[in-house]
Structure 1
Amino acid sequence: MESSTYILSKSNEKPKVEYIETIERVETVEDRRHRNTTFLSEGLKVSTNKPTAEYEGRHRYDPDLQWAVAEEKKLVRRLDKKVCTWVCAAFFCLLLDRSNTSQALADNLLDDLRMNTNDYNLGSTIFNVVFLVAEIPMQLCAKRFGPDRWLPFQMVAWSLVASCQAFLKNRTGYLICRALLGLAEAGFIPENVLYLSYFYTGSEMAFRIACFWVSFQVSQVMSALMAFGIFHMGGVLGLEGWRWLFGLEGALTGIIGVIALFFYPQSPTQPSLYARARGPKAWFNEHEEKILVNRVLRDDPGKGGMHNREGITLRMIGKCLADWHMLPLYILSLTWTVPFIPMYFYQTLTLRAIGFTTFQTALMSIPGATLVGIQMFLWTWISKKSKQTLLLGVGCQLWAIPFLTSFLVVNFQDRPWVKYALIVLLVGYPNLIPIMVSLVSRNAGSIRTRAIASALFNMGIHAASVLGVNIYRNDDKPLYKRGNKILLGIVFFNIGMFIFTKVLYQRENNRRDKVWNSMTGEQKINYLETTSDEGNRRLDFRFDS
């Protein structure tokens, strides 16, 4: 197919007065390469680019299909409404039930349960450890039973545990609930990332994941507003305000989880239960399904390698773990968010300690959450336009240096509003999590490795939380000078790691370019037909960096 190919819209009927003959641009191989397609072998007639017989969209596969760019954009917007909206709603509920613990601190949760800061740290550590242990098993369950079934089930499960926190009596009950929440929520984020990859191309994923994560910031804002109102219920039926907060927000999640079961579609060719009940007009027609399937496969043929409810074997897990190309990203997942974690978790306690009231503290978390949400969209847009990811990570780390340094050398006890402004700027940092998660998903190279790679990266993020929440300790209060020195050291390590990873991927891409470009068309086809290389090991695969 040549890059000059066009199609002319026609009608079998006699043209009416208002009919306007139009020419629509057909997207070509060269267009998709310019769009930073993951694999360079599109257009080569090789069996390795064909989906397997088990792939759920195999009946819509058509390597010769052509479509207009405008038509595809319209379908993507419809996908956003039918798929991305529900993923964002689910993530909103996840973070609503996570952030309410931080809000409850402002209403004397620790004192009521006869706990201290170290007990709170222990609860966070238990949550994250259980979460880490259960992450891959839960991801495997989602892959086996299908995200459209498993994700709503998880939402209902953790809503029950979250609601039960309203009846906490002591430290032991608190720690048990944190463990159960870690189990119920494990795998939820990488499951949604894998689920989105069924519908979107690699270049589209970052923005959708940005929407996904901005819903997290929206949940923080809503959690603060809800906490402000619900805390005024303190004393109703003899219950503290934080008990009402846990009970009501947990119930809300459960209701949304039940509704989500009917609205999650299984794949581009398998509509949701609600769409099936409404009939064909509620979903895509055959031609539209063909576009949705083939545009994803042409971007990444590996997505046709298995059914979306096909389980992952131990051998597949072993292959993923042995993929050294992904190791730098796993290392970064352990460290790059750490400089911002302590203040995020401790901002409510810090604000109370410098003189702000419970209700002021509940509302004062809103500006930081709003700022980080704005920054997510801004830096995702910058990444798309500049085609840069890892260098932006350097900028993210540089952002933390002036604020951590000021906390280290200045005593803000008599200047609470100055410290508050610095806290807002630190917790409202350039959060690149949508870019990083999309990078991991794209560089994994296949559905098999993507499922495990996304889980491993998310495990690293939560392991970073375990590290982060334990950096500020009781014996380091109130300035946490030792803790801030540690955070500055981690910042400089992260800067070096981002640069190293960028150089590593560029060198590997250059090496492959040299080999691939020296091959004739027949040699390329022969390589793809006979090679045992899979996913990101193939010579036609290019790492995003």
Structure 2
Amino acid sequence: MADEKQHIGNLSESPASRSDDEDHEITWTEDEEKALVRRLDMLIMPLLILGFFALQLDRGNIGNALTDNFFQDVGITQFQFNTGQQLLSAGIVLLEIPSNVILYRIGPAVWIGAQIVAWGLVATFQAFQKGLGPYLTTRLLLGICEAGFIPAGLFTMTRWYKRDETSKRFSCYFVGNMSAAASSGLVAYGILHMRGIAGLAGWQWLFLIEGLFTVLVGGLFVALFPRSASNPVSLLGVRYFSERESQILQQRVLRDDPTKIQARQNVSWAEVKATFTNWRLIPHMLISILALSPAQTMASYAPSLAVSFGYDRLKANAMISIGAWILIITNVSWGIIADKTRLRGLMVFLGLLFLWGLTLGNRLLVESTNGKLRFGVLTTAIAFQAVFHAVNGSWLALNARTAGERSITMALFIMGANISGIIWSQIFQADDAPLYKRGWTVITVLVSASVLMSVIAVVQYWLLNRLQRRVGKDRYHY
């Protein structure tokens, strides 16, 4: 295993990254650093998590809308619904890398905040869609506006935190996604009862209320998020750290990992080429594509599946949140353990192995008439559906060699996750309902393949490290 105290380069190689020649000489106590990190956690993490919360609400609330006659009111079929979900994922995939290139240049305060406001407006006005054309258009626009938010948040965290701090922060970041998934059913249960008020359907109120909430979150992000560690000032002019504290925040990260030096405002073509030709990324990408497809299928169709188990359609939205709340605990635990043990590959493998066992259980129970048992297995599967994902992302970030390469790598990582969205939206088909025998078989095969990819990822780094030791070069994290 790679020694995380080892430096990959020398700070003196990039003098442009320092504000003055004395920056690298600054000293501080361990208590002083811990106090700064606690303040940092209270400043940037809540805003990033809140943004992710809003994103998942707007991306996933359509699953709750399905239980409120969405197909009939809008006038689309299940196949057309799946096509719209594919367009959402396609819009995200197409602009993921350009979005992170822009982020690299202008910073998170402006770019991420603007994204949140943009997709919030789309999410709000989709309440008035009617017909196939408007439905497909709003899903595509929502994907385009959301493109880049997740990798932007991941990359931003790598600029503020050290290597052995990232897995748990990545996992906490995904708590925004998971808490939205957990609470969306409960929120939907209440809002969908508003059907008929002002002549609107319950699903229309769902889109309106949650979309406007997102616009508010975007405004808060633009106003409050600090520009950078070197300039910890919000767009409103609020300075969060003194000059000395700012230097400590910068230097503690760069001394831990000099690859995070950002000497330019632009990602170089050499860094783009190095990322796209990095064959080591392949198993990581395949893990995201193969394993998140089943996870997203379960999350989106969970309310409908619960209805098929014999539960009331509105009550099903609330009940399905049980697994999502448990997922928050399992996800954060996975990140903490990964940072403590520094065995990211093992934690990814274990997370996928648990998911495999639970998806197999769902497949074996498709013909069971025991609705409570089926609900219990589905809920447990949801509780472990994505514990591997954040750790896989931090594993990738740790093995990037420059700041620019890390930015593009995070974009590719989330592109893989959204390519999985193109797949999951076609796994459950109308002619396979309500048991979805074929769908659950496909899910089990996909997760099985992802387990194999996690083994390949660990083995590749283990073999590479054996070669690297012979020539005295830097070693990879696994």
Q: Confirm or deny: 8 A CA contact 2:348 2:389 kept in the other structure.
A: no
Q: Confirm or deny: 8 A CA contact 1:263 1:273 kept in the other structure.
A: yes
Q: Aligned to 1:231, what secondary structure does the other structure show?
A: helix
Distance in 2 (CA, whole Å) between partners of 1:359 and 1:338 is 25
Distance in 1 (CA, whole Å) between partners of 2:240 and 2:359 is 51
| Aligned residue number for residue 475 of structure 1 | 431
Distance in 2 (CA, whole Å) between partners of 1:171 and 1:356 is 30
| Cα distance change on mapping 1:226 and 1:408 into 2, 3 Å | closer
Structure 1, 423-432 or 318-327: larger mean CA deviation: 318-327
Which of 277, 287, 291 is the matching residue for 1:336? 291
| Aligned residue number for residue 272 of structure 2 | 317
Paired amino acid for 2:291: W
| Aligned residue number for residue 79 of structure 1 | 40
| Aligned residue number for residue 367 of structure 1 | 322
Q: Does 1:125 align with 2:86?
A: yes
| Aligned residue number for residue 47 of structure 1 | 12
Distance in 2 (CA, whole Å) between partners of 1:373 and 1:61 is 43
| Cα distance change on mapping 1:403 and 1:82 into 2, 3 Å | closer
State the Cα distance separating 1:417 from its structure 2 match. Answer: 1.8
| Cα distance change on mapping 1:275 and 1:173 into 2, 3 Å | closer
| Cα distance change on mapping 1:417 and 1:116 into 2, 3 Å | farther
Count of aligned pairs? 476
Which of 133, 145, 151 is the matching residue for 1:172? 133
Equivalent residues in 2 for 1:62-461 (5 A)? 62-273=23-234, 276-277=237-238, 282-307=239-264, 310-411=265-366, 414-429=369-384, 431-461=387-417
Which of 485, 508, 514 is the matching residue for 2:441? 485
Distance in 2 (CA, whole Å) between partners of 1:301 and 1:40 is 6
State the Cα distance separating 1:428 from its structure 2 match. Answer: 1.2
Q: Aligned to 2:399, what secondary structure does the other structure show?
A: helix
| Cα deviation 1:429-483 (Å, max 9, x = unaligned) | 1612221111111111211101111001100011112112212222222222222
Q: Confirm or deny: 8 A CA contact 1:158 1:181 kept in the other structure.
A: yes
Structure 1, 326-335 or 442-451: larger mean CA deviation: 326-335
State the Cα distance separating 1:59 from its structure 2 match. Answer: 3.3
Q: Aligned to 1:543, what secondary structure does the other structure show?
A: coil
Q: Aligned to 2:20, what secondary structure does the other structure show?
A: helix
Q: Confirm or deny: 8 A CA contact 1:407 1:479 kept in the other structure.
A: no
State the Cα distance separating 1:155 from its structure 2 match. Answer: 0.7
| Cα deviation 1:330-358 (Å, max 9, x = unaligned) | 23222232333322221112122333223
| Cα distance change on mapping 1:265 and 1:61 into 2, 3 Å | farther
State the Cα distance separating 1:38 from its structure 2 match. Answer: 5.7
Q: Aligned to 2:435, what secondary structure does the other structure show?
A: coil
Paired amino acid for 1:291: I
Counting aligned pairs with the same residue, the percent is: 29
| Aligned residue number for residue 5 of structure 2 | 37
Q: Give the RMSD, CA atoms, in angstroms.
A: 2.0
| Cα distance change on mapping 1:510 and 1:158 into 2, 3 Å | same
| Cα distance change on mapping 1:413 and 1:495 into 2, 3 Å | closer
Max Rg structure: 1
Structure 1, 316-325 or 448-457: larger mean CA deviation: 316-325
Q: Does 1:544 align with 2:477?
A: yes
State the Cα distance separating 1:490 from its structure 2 match. Answer: 2.2
Q: Confirm or deny: 8 A CA contact 2:348 2:391 kept in the other structure.
A: no
| Cα deviation 1:364-422 (Å, max 9, x = unaligned) | 12111111111111111221232211222222232234433333333456322221111
Paired amino acid for 1:306: A
| Aligned residue number for residue 11 of structure 1 | none
| Aligned residue number for residue 12 of structure 1 | none
Which of 465, 468, 477 is the matching residue for 1:509? 465
Distance in 2 (CA, whole Å) between partners of 1:444 and 1:341 is 27
- Where structure 2 has 5 or more consecutive residues not aligned to the other structure, the ranges are none
Distance in 2 (CA, whole Å) between partners of 1:221 and 1:499 is 30
TM-score normalised to the size of structure 2?
0.94
| Cα deviation 1:10-42 (Å, max 9, x = unaligned) | xxxxxxxxxxxxxxxxxxxxxxx97x2363556
| Cα distance change on mapping 1:327 and 1:414 into 2, 3 Å | closer
Structure 1, 245-254 or 100-109: larger mean CA deviation: 100-109
State the Cα distance separating 1:228 from its structure 2 match. Answer: 1.6
Q: Aligned to 2:24, what secondary structure does the other structure show?
A: coil
| Aligned residue number for residue 522 of structure 1 | none
Q: Confirm or deny: 8 A CA contact 1:265 1:271 kept in the other structure.
A: yes
State the Cα distance separating 1:241 from its structure 2 match. Answer: 0.7
Distance in 2 (CA, whole Å) between partners of 1:290 and 1:449 is 24
TM-score normalised to the size of structure 1?
0.83
Q: Confirm or deny: 8 A CA contact 1:354 1:413 kept in the other structure.
A: no
State the Cα distance separating 1:115 from its structure 2 match. Answer: 2.1
State the Cα distance separating 1:304 from its structure 2 match. Answer: 1.7
Q: Confirm or deny: 8 A CA contact 1:134 1:186 kept in the other structure.
A: yes
Q: Aligned to 2:237, what secondary structure does the other structure show?
A: helix
State the Cα distance separating 1:52 from its structure 2 match. Answer: 4.1
State the Cα distance separating 1:274 from its structure 2 match. Answer: 6.2
- Where structure 1 has 5 or more consecutive residues not aligned to the other structure, the ranges are 1-32, 517-538
Paired amino acid for 1:273: S
Q: Does 1:463 align with 2:401?
A: no
